Amino acid sequence: MILYTSSISPADQGSGTKVSSALRKIDEVLSKDGQVETTQPSSESNNTWSPRETMTMSGVALAYSLVVLLVAAVIAKGLKSPEQAIRLFTVVLIINSAVFFIVAGYSSQQIAPAFGLLGTMAGYVLGKSQDNNKDQGSSKE
């Protein structure tokens, strides 16, 4: 608790009581909240999950990724070329990796290089397949 000292003359006793009661009310508000709230947003994300909840949500994200990969495997059996299957699996892995990084609670500074790498992989795989389709189309003519 914060203690305030003041030098009030006997003539100002009536107004001093008002000031001291106001200071006590401020102390009560501060002791209830524990901290003074700031209006400036913090640069770091406020993760309110406990470590156990973070591990649980990360496990759920990984289990979801496994289910999506199994569905992609079933879909890949019906695709005509292995290149299409590689594109499918790459996109699924990139999206699921991004979801896992976010759920696991990494900060934006930690995630940025990983997203750069994932974006590069996606651009290479998807761009490579489009280049091959253009080459095949011009060779048919």
Number of domains composing the chain:
2
The per-residue pLDDT for range 18-46, each reduced to its tens digit, is 777 777 777 777 676 555 444 444 445 55
Domain membership flag for residue 42: no
Q: Are 24 and 73 part of one and the same domain?
A: no
Q: Are 115 and 62 part of one and the same domain?
A: yes
Q: What is the pLDDT of residue 40?
A: 44
Residue 137 scores a pLDDT above 80: no
Q: Are 109 and 57 part of one and the same domain?
A: yes
Q: Are 22 and 65 part of one and the same domain?
A: no
Q: What is the pLDDT of residue 113?
A: 92
Q: What is the pLDDT of residue 4?
A: 46
**By the 8 A CB rule, do 4 and 23 touch?**
yes
Stated pTM of the model: 0.56
Q: For residue 69, what are the domain limits?
A: 52-135
Residue 63 scores a pLDDT above 90: yes
